[in-house]
Amino acid sequence: MAKILLFVLAAWLSTADAAAAPSAPALLRAFIVATHGARARFTQTVVDQNGRVIQTTNGTMAFSRPGRFRWVYEAPYRQVIVGDSKTLWLYDPDLNQVTEEPLGQAIGESPAALLAGSDDIEKLFLVRTVPGPGGLHWIEAVPKSRESTFAAVRMGFAPGGTQGPGLREMILKDNFGHTTYLRFSDFVRNPAFPPGLFHFVPPQGADVLGAPGAAPQPRGAP
């Protein structure tokens, strides 16, 4: 009898947890409404189709919707990616090279659109709730366009109370078999950004290249 009661209790708790979890569109909308901008540290791990780690990096990120973000890789090499609402800039200090591209063409239905794009995310992605680790609420966003280089993006949120959900992890699956795991720490919602954070001027003497038709990617990124 005790085993039956425990089984019924476990089933009830599982149902209650599922009912308490918000729907994926509602969770994403709550994050967008509550988070106009943010800054955080990140660690990034890329694995291949066999689960082999091919890259580990870390750095800082910041974004302010719509269309402004700054993504800095600090180790093992340094790269800077800046979106200033009009242009996407990628700067490689080791090569002293800058790549620029129109922002709308570059981010399209990329993971960057989920963070720093417009509020009409559901026009670009199919969004659904999925199970996931870490005690987080997970959603999966699948690009509607077949031309996207990403197959799916998963976002793991921690309940945020009156402040709204907080982003803790992202899992990016591309169409080449690579999976990128992003984990965020020191996540600060709607901070006061320093002037010029989302402005980029190519350093004197740097080679400036255009890349029409192809978004620039950090080295080793999927």
Residue with the bigger pLDDT between 23 and 214: it is: 23
pLDDT of residue 157: 93
* H-assigned helices in the chain: 2-20, 24-34, 103-107, 111-116
User: Does the pLDDT value for residue 216 go beyond 70?
Assistant: no
Is the Cβ–Cβ distance between 85 and 68 less than 8 Å? yes
Tell me how far apart the alpha carbons of residues 96 and 99 are, in angstroms, rounded to a whole number: 10
pLDDT of residue 139: 93
**For a pLDDT cut of 70, what percent of the chain falls above it?**
80
pLDDT of residue 22: 67
* H-assigned helices in 21-160: 24-34, 103-107, 111-116
pLDDT class of 86 with cuts at 50, 70, 90: very high
User: Which domains does the chain possess?
Assistant: 22-210 (2.50.20.10)
pLDDT class of 215 with cuts at 50, 70, 90: very low
How far is C-alpha 201 from the chain's CA centre? Answer: 25
Beta-carbon count within 10 A of 122 CB? 14
pLDDT of residue 190: 95
Residue with the bigger pLDDT between 17 and 54: it is: 54
Per-residue pLDDT tens over the stretch 62-80: 999 888 999 999 988 999 9
Name the residue among 52, 102, 125, 94 with its Cα closest to residue 210.
Answer: 102
Tokens representing 61 are 């990120």
Residue with the bigger pLDDT between 132 and 178: it is: 178
Mean pLDDT, range 36-55, rounded to an integer: 95
Evaluate if pTM is beyond 0.85. Answer: no
Name the residue among 49, 63, 50 with its Cα closest to residue 112.
Answer: 63
Per-residue pLDDT tens over the stretch 160-208: 665 677 899 999 999 889 999 999 999 999 999 999 999 999 999 999 9
pLDDT of residue 119: 62
pLDDT of residue 221: 42
pLDDT of residue 212: 45
